[in-house]
Structure 1
Amino acid sequence: MFNRFAALILATCLALPATAQTLINESPFWESEVAKGQMDPAAQRIPETPLIVDLEAKGRTFGTQGGTLRTMVTRSKDVRQMVVYGYARLVGYDEKYRLKADILRDYEVEDRRVFTLHLRPGHRWSDGAPFTSADFEYWWEHVAQNPELSPNGPPEVMRVGEEFGTMSFPDPYTVVVTFPRPNPNFLQMLAQAAPPFIFRPSHYLKQFHVNFNTVEEMEAMIDAKRVRSWAPLHNKMDNMYQFDNAALPTLQPWVVASGTSSRQLFIRNPYFHRVDARGTQLPYIDVVEMGIVGSGLVAAKSNAGESDLQARGLDFRDVSILKKGEQDGAPYRTYLWSNGAASQIAIYPNLNFADPVWSKVIRDARFRRALSLGIDRRMINRALYFGLGKEGGMTALAASPFFEPDNLTKWAIYNPELANNMLDEMGLTERTASGIRLLPDGRPMEFVIETAGERQEVENALAIITDTWRDLGIKLIMRPLDRDILRNRVFSGVTMAAVWFGWDNGIPQPFTPPSYLAPTDQVFFAWPKWGQHYQTHGAAGEPIDLPAAQRLMDLSKAWQGTSIEAERTKIWREMLDIHADQQFGIGILSEAPQPVVVSDRLRNVPEKGKWAWDPGAHFGVHRVDEFYFSDDEQIAQVSK
Structure 2
Amino acid sequence: MSILKTGGLAGLALALAGIGSAWALDLKETPDVDPSLPPVAERVPDEPLVVDMEGKGRTIGTPGGTLNTLIGRSKDVRLINVWGYARLVGYDSELNLVPDILEDVEVEEGRIFTLETREGHKWSDGHPFGAEDIRYWYEDIALNENLTPSGLPPFMLSDGKPPKFEVLDETTVRFTWDTPNPLFLPELAKSRPPFIYRPAHYLKQFHEKYGDPETIKAEAAKVKARSWAPLHNKKDDMYNALNPDMPSLQPWIRTDNGSDLRFVLTRNPYYHRLDTAGQQLPYISEVIMTVADSKLIPAKAQAGETDLQARNLSFADITVLKQGEAQQGYTTALWSNSKGAEISILPNLTVADPDWRKLLRDKRFRHALSYGIDREMVNRVLFFGLGKTGNDTVLPASPLFKPEYRTKHAVYDPEKANDLLDQIGLTERNNDGVRLMENGKPLEIIIETYGESQTEADALELVSENWKDIGVKLYIKPSQRDIVRERAITGDLVMSVTPGLENGIATSEMPPTDLAPARGDLLLWHDWGDYYETKGEGGEKPDWAPAIRLMELYAAWNSSASPEERTGIWHEMLEINAEETIRIGLVAEVPQPVLINGVKNVPQTAIYGWDPGAHFGLHRMDEFYLSDTKR
Normalised to the residue count of structure 1, the TM-score between the two structures is 0.89
Do structure 1's residue 620 and structure 2's residue 623 form an aligned pair?
Answer: no
- The 5 Å alignment of 1:288-367 reads 288-326=287-325, 328-367=326-365
Question: Partner of 2:4 in structure 1?
Answer: none
Closer/same/farther in 2, CA of residues 127 and 336 from structure 1, 3 Å limit: same
Q: Is the 8 A contact 1:428 1:437 kept in 2?
A: yes
SS in structure 2 of the partner of residue 544 of structure 1: coil
How far off is 1:87 after superposition? 0.6
Closer/same/farther in 2, CA of residues 289 and 422 from structure 1, 3 Å limit: same
Point out the more displaced range, 288-297 or 602-611.
288-297
Q: Is the 8 A contact 2:488 2:526 kept in 1?
A: yes
Do structure 1's residue 49 and structure 2's residue 52 form an aligned pair?
Answer: no
Do structure 1's residue 29 and structure 2's residue 32 form an aligned pair?
Answer: yes
Query: Take 1:232 and 1:544, find their aligned partners in 2: how far apart are those partners?
Result: 38
Query: Take 2:235 and 2:581, find their aligned partners in 1: how far apart are those partners?
Result: 42
Q: Is the 8 A contact 2:84 2:620 kept in 1?
A: yes
Point out the more displaced range, 154-163 or 265-274.
154-163
How far off is 1:546 after superposition? 2.1
Aligned residue among 569, 572, 593 for 1:571: 569
Q: Give unmatched runs, 5+ long, in structure 2.
A: 1-7
Q: Is the 8 A contact 1:106 1:119 kept in 2?
A: yes
Point out the more displaced range, 249-258 or 402-411.
402-411
Do structure 1's residue 266 and structure 2's residue 269 form an aligned pair?
Answer: no
- The 5 Å alignment of 1:519-534 reads 519-534=517-532
How far off is 1:325 after superposition? 1.4
How far off is 1:398 after superposition? 2.5
Q: Deviations over 1:573-631 (max 9, x none)?
A: 221111012222211111122221111x2111112211122222221111000000121
How far off is 1:317 after superposition? 2.2
The one-letter code of the counterpart of 1:271 is: Y
- The 5 Å alignment of 1:187-226 reads 187-213=185-211, 218=216, 220-226=218-224
Aligned residue among 101, 106, 109 for 1:108: 106
Do structure 1's residue 173 and structure 2's residue 157 form an aligned pair?
Answer: no
Question: Partner of 2:13 in structure 1?
Answer: 13
Q: Deviations over 1:113-172 (max 9, x none)?
A: 111100011211222222121111111112212233333321122122433323221222
Query: Take 1:245 and 1:443, find their aligned partners in 2: how far apart are those partners?
Result: 56
How far off is 1:544 after superposition? 2.5
How far off is 1:15 after superposition? 4.2
Q: Deviations over 1:93-118 (max 9, x none)?
A: 11222221100011111112111100
Query: Take 1:442 and 1:75, find their aligned partners in 2: how far apart are those partners?
Result: 48
Question: Partner of 1:3 in structure 2?
Answer: none
Q: Is the 8 A contact 1:158 1:166 kept in 2?
A: no
How far off is 1:441 after superposition? 5.7
Q: Deviations over 1:321-377 (max 9, x none)?
A: 222212x32221111222222112112222233455544443333333333223221
Normalised to the residue count of structure 2, the TM-score between the two structures is 0.90
Question: Partner of 1:591 in structure 2?
Answer: 589
Query: Take 1:250 and 1:370, find their aligned partners in 2: how far apart are those partners?
Result: 53
How far off is 1:491 after superposition? 5.5
How far off is 1:20 after superposition? 5.9
How far off is 1:419 after superposition? 3.1
Q: Deviations over 1:542-594 (max 9, x none)?
A: 33232211211111222344445554433222211110122222111111222
Q: Is the 8 A contact 1:20 1:278 kept in 2?
A: no
How far off is 1:178 after superposition? 1.1
Q: Deviations over 1:493-541 (max 9, x none)?
A: 5543332222222233344433332222234331233333333434444
Query: Take 1:382 and 1:43, find their aligned partners in 2: how far apart are those partners?
Result: 56
Aligned residue among 540, 545, 551 for 2:543: 545
Q: Is the 8 A contact 2:392 2:500 kept in 1?
A: yes
- The 5 Å alignment of 1:74-473 reads 74-213=72-211, 218=216, 220-227=218-225, 229-257=227-255, 258-326=257-325, 328-428=326-426, 433-437=431-435, 445-473=443-471
Point out the more displaced range, 277-286 or 452-461.
452-461
Query: Take 1:222 and 1:9, find their aligned partners in 2: how far apart are those partners?
Result: 44
Closer/same/farther in 2, CA of residues 462 and 79 from structure 1, 3 Å limit: farther
SS in structure 2 of the partner of residue 149 of structure 1: coil
Query: Take 1:462 and 1:42, find their aligned partners in 2: how far apart are those partners?
Result: 57
Q: Percent identity?
A: 49
Q: Is the 8 A contact 2:9 2:15 kept in 1?
A: no
Point out the more displaced range, 280-289 or 242-251.
242-251
How far off is 1:202 after superposition? 2.0
Query: Take 2:123 and 2:87, find their aligned partners in 1: how far apart are those partners?
Result: 14
Q: Is the 8 A contact 1:12 1:50 kept in 2?
A: no
How far off is 1:9 after superposition? 8.9
SS in structure 1 of the partner of residue 76 of structure 2: helix
Q: Is the 8 A contact 1:375 1:414 kept in 2?
A: yes
Query: Take 1:556 and 1:422, find their aligned partners in 2: how far apart are those partners?
Result: 31
Do structure 1's residue 610 and structure 2's residue 613 form an aligned pair?
Answer: no
Point out the more displaced range, 287-296 or 468-477.
468-477
Q: Is the 8 A contact 2:15 2:23 kept in 1?
A: no
Q: Give unmatched runs, 5+ long, in structure 1.
A: 1-7, 636-640
How far off is 1:176 after superposition? 0.5
Point out the more displaced range, 53-62 or 466-475.
466-475
Question: Partner of 1:64 in structure 2?
Answer: 62
SS in structure 1 of the partner of residue 585 of structure 2: strand
Number of aligned residues = 620
The one-letter code of the counterpart of 2:298 is: A
The one-letter code of the counterpart of 2:305 is: E
Closer/same/farther in 2, CA of residues 404 and 48 from structure 1, 3 Å limit: closer
SS in structure 1 of the partner of residue 328 of structure 2: coil
Query: Take 1:536 and 1:614, find their aligned partners in 2: how far apart are those partners?
Result: 24
The one-letter code of the counterpart of 2:550 is: L
Q: Is the 8 A contact 2:343 2:587 kept in 1?
A: yes
SS in structure 1 of the partner of residue 339 of structure 2: coil
Closer/same/farther in 2, CA of residues 439 and 280 from structure 1, 3 Å limit: same
